[in-house]
Amino acid sequence: MNGRVLLVEDNADFVANLTEILTDLGYQVRAAASCAAALKEGRGWVDVALVDFRLPDGAGTQLAESLKQDNPDCEVVLLTGYASVEAAAEAVRAGVWDFLAKPCPTPDVLATLAKAARHVRLDDAAQVAERLASVGTLTAGLSHEIRNPLNAAGLQLAVLERRLRKLEASSQPLLLEPLLLVRDEIRRLETILRDFLQFARPAPARLVPFSMQSLLSGISALLTEQAGRRQVALELSLPTLPEVKGDADQLKQVFMNLAINAIDASPDGGLVRISSSMESGGGLRVSIDDSGTGVPEENRERIFEPFFSTKPQGSGLGLPICRAIITQHFGRIEVHQSALGGARFDVTLPPG
């Protein structure tokens, strides 16, 4: 879901047309032709409101203020008949996110709404992070408690396996098969716990200068075999880059996660490209492209939520950990459609 949009405008054609387009794009849409109707429709529901400046029963700026009182996280985009300085000033005072001068082309309206919706979702992500931080201590403690008996079980299982392998060869497979399954499940639980602990209690990033180029070459070397098993080609495209500041261990984990996801998503014989470049503002961007199936638009935020996974064995913690680490570096991580056909994950780090 892209977001919940409330259209407050008394031009029925404009509303019908925009409703159709927005619905196709995956938004939920409600419409209202007056301030009173807008407050009723929008209460506790709206992410982004597109509000006409002049409404039959009041001013759009006043409505904007009331909507924001009812829905503190929502953003309002104002439609004005004329783009005057006064209108802009009033709009800013009312806390609107942006304003558009009528008549405005549909693509502009869509771009502005998408930007506002993204902003609202970012706030959502921050809220999720906060909530997780408060339950983090509790769950981290619980994970520790689970870890000890799990370790004990793993050790006993190893004893069992050793004893079993001393038995007569013919009876071994029958007993070994379930034992190895249990062993694999225990390993999986251990990995989930390790990842979860890291997510719940991330180590603070230690920012020191390092070479991104050698970090990325190292990752590619580490993954050559894994990629080769599926005949996925790993391509590196790294210009000479200045040193950046960051926690190299943590960033290595980010790019490993992203590259493994890319290999996972690739068809046999596919291509994964790791590239990096300097941003115009002096920041550094690393992109990981793949030729897989990509991430459908409706999942592009959800994949960063803990435990969201479409893989039978996935923990769904890879990307939330990546995001937590990148946030600690004051950077950004985003997913797009790749020119290679699949997904492209862009990580941007600010100038050191």
Ligand X SMILES: Nc1ncnc2c1ncn2[C@@H]1O[C@H](COP(=O)(O)OP(=O)(O)OP(=O)(O)O)[C@@H](O)[C@H]1O
The stretch near Mg ion (CB under 5 A) out of 6-14, 158-166, 199-207, 310-318 is: 310-318
Which of 267, 314, 350, 352 touches ligand X by CB under 6 A? 314
The stretch near Mg ion (CB under 5 A) out of 24-32, 51-59, 137-145, 311-319 is: 311-319
Does residue 316 touch Mg ion according to CB under 5 A? no
Amino acid in the structure at residue 249:
D
Does residue 295 touch ligand X according to CB under 6 A? yes
Of residues 227 and 265, the one with the C-beta less far from ligand X: 265
Shortest distance (Å) from residue 292 CB to ligand X: 5
Residues 329-348 that bind ligand X (CB under 6 A): 342-343
Shortest distance (Å) from residue 264 CB to ligand X: 6
Of residues 42 and 342, the one with the C-beta less far from ligand X: 342
Which of 60, 270, 318, 342 touches Mg ion by CB under 5 A? 318
Which of 20, 93, 311, 351 touches ligand X by CB under 6 A? 311
**CB of 116 within 8 A of CB of 98?**
yes
Which structure tokens are listed for 316? 């769904």
Does residue 303 touch ligand X according to CB under 6 A? yes
Of residues 318 and 342, the one with the C-beta less far from Mg ion: 318
Which of 60, 270, 292, 331 touches ligand X by CB under 6 A? 292
- Which positions lie near ligand X, rule CB under 6 A? 257, 261-262, 265, 290, 292, 294-295, 303, 308-311, 314-319, 342-343
Residues that bind Mg ion (CB under 5 A): 261, 318
